[in-house]
Amino acid sequence: MSQPGDAASWRRIAVPAYGPTILVSIGQGATLPLVALSARDLGASVGVAAFVVALIGIGQLLGDLPAGALAARIGEQKALVAACTVDALALAGAFLARSLWMLALAIFVTGLAGSVFSLARQAYLTETVPLRMRARALSTLGGTFRVGLFLGPFVGAALVSRGEIGRAYAFAAGMSLAAAALTAFLPDVTRTKRSARAETGAAHSSVLSVLRAHRRTLLTLGTGVLIISAARATRQTIVPLWAASQGLSPATVSLVYGVSAGVDMLLFYPGGAIMDRYGRVFVAVPSMVVLGLGFLLLPLTHVTPAIAVVAGLMGLGNGISAGVVMTLGADVAPAESRTQFLGGWRLCADLGNAAGPLIVSGVTVVAPLAAAAVTMGLLTWTGVAWLARWIPRRPDTSLE
């Protein structure tokens, strides 16, 4: 239940928490669909172009643990400013790239910067928002990112229609610089808590020592988060692939995906409200049931309306669970070494993001795409049982 001071507290941190996120995500949305095209323009084959796109995820994976160490050392606000600045420089590099290796390096660095940005914004909100409204705050953060990714491609399309692809990178670099400036000139509301941790020496605990101390949580609940992330990432891959395999035109595929994205984008706040009122399990489990059902129904669809309905169903499952991974991580993270722990937590999630599409790719080597959809449906439902077993019914307030 909301308390009288909740609205004022949330308004106080809304700009520093959500402002940089919407700016950076719009920039990302403008460039993500164009990375493969940029690589192709520089002479890459289809396979190499796909690898260049994958470098974003590889950079995030490799950056997760160092991001936790960096944020623990310098604080969330400085980490956010640094991440946005590095991201802007990398995007400027992509704009100026005249060779494939330079583009690949720039894209890899954007992944590294993204890992720092994602961890720091999660840690910032976890520090500043009361526990009773944590899920709503983090779900809104996830929803804000979705809105930016939804709007960004339209901006990118408008920029590219008037000139070269590089314009989109220049625009995204400007958005990241704006996010850095916005963050730099806002008050650091987490300074007091960070100073208290520094006095105890907790801020200087190594990431590996923190992860060893909390390895049981990472191996149990972290595995569930890995499955959640794998299911989400696979949805983004398999819906367009299935629609195209059924003969839908590229324009129709985009429309179907847009329907799913629209449903996804609208449901983040209700999911957060349910988690705050009834507990995290009441969103995590049903959302995975719905996503798993979508995977299992997808092979039964062969015409546009049916595919759109299933895509919308999967968008429902994904949208209501916005913020659940961040919320669970915030719940189980120890207050004295939160950022170090969250580095490992985000590594679990990013491993899932990478594993999901790889499972689809591996299954389709020996079986039809329908088999890959069924495989992911069954894996997602296995994750339902796992999550129901390991998600705490209520957050452990002793960690605060």
Domain spans, the chain:
1-204, 205-400
pLDDT at 380: 94
pLDDT at residue number 290: 95
In the chain, what's the furthest Cα-to-Cα distance? Answer: 63
pLDDT of 153 reads: 81
H helices of the chain, where?
6-31, 35-41, 46-74, 76-96, 100-128, 134-161, 166-184, 191-200, 207-213, 215-245, 250-266, 268-278, 281-297, 304-320, 324-332, 338-366, 369-390
Which candidate, 302, 333, 319, 326, places its Cα nearest to that of 396?
333
Please give the single-letter amino acid code of residue 19. G
* Amino acid type, 11: R
Nearest-angstrom CA–CA distance, 323 and 333: 15
Three-class HEC string of 270-281: HHHHHHHHHCCH
CA distances from 49 to 33, 44, 126, 238, 370 (A): 12, 6, 37, 19, 26
276: which 2 tokens? Answer: 């705050």
Give 39-44's long-range contacts (Cβ < 8 A, gap of 24+). Answer: 39/100, 39/103, 39/104, 41/165, 42/97, 42/98, 42/99, 42/100, 42/103, 43/100, 44/100
CB atoms within 10 A of CB 381: 19
Q: Do domains 1-204 and 205-400 have the same CATH topology?
A: yes
d(C-alpha 200, C-alpha 194), whole Å: 10
Cβ atoms of 79 and 16 closer than 8 Å: no
**CA-based nearest residue to 171, from 159, 184, 153:** 159
Q: Calculate the alpha carbon distances from 79 to 113, 123, 341, 354 in Å.
A: 10, 11, 16, 25
| pLDDT score of 1 | 45
Q: Is 242 helix (H, G, I), strand (E, B) or coil?
A: helix
State the helix-helix crossing angle for 76-96 and 46-74, rounded to 10 degrees.
Answer: 150
Domain 205-400 is of which CATH architecture? Up-down Bundle (1.20)
pLDDT confidence of residue 398: 46
pLDDT tens digit at each of 400 positions of the chain: 455 455 556 666 677 778 899 999 999 988 887 888 888 888 888 678 878 888 888 899 999 999 999 988 888 889 999 999 999 999 999 999 999 999 999 999 999 999 999 999 888 888 888 888 888 889 988 888 888 888 888 888 888 876 678 888 999 999 999 999 998 887 666 665 555 555 555 556 788 899 999 999 999 999 999 999 999 988 877 888 888 888 887 667 767 877 787 888 888 888 899 999 999 999 999 999 999 999 999 999 999 899 999 999 998 998 888 889 999 999 999 988 889 999 999 999 999 988 888 888 888 888 888 999 999 999 999 999 999 999 987 665 444 5
pLDDT at 395: 60
CATH topology of domain 1-204: Growth Hormone; Chain: A; (1.20.1250)
CA 18/CA 296 separation, integer angstroms: 35
Contact (Cβ atoms closer than 8 angstroms) between residue 20 and residue 84: yes
- CA 248 – CA 337 distance, rounded (Å): 50
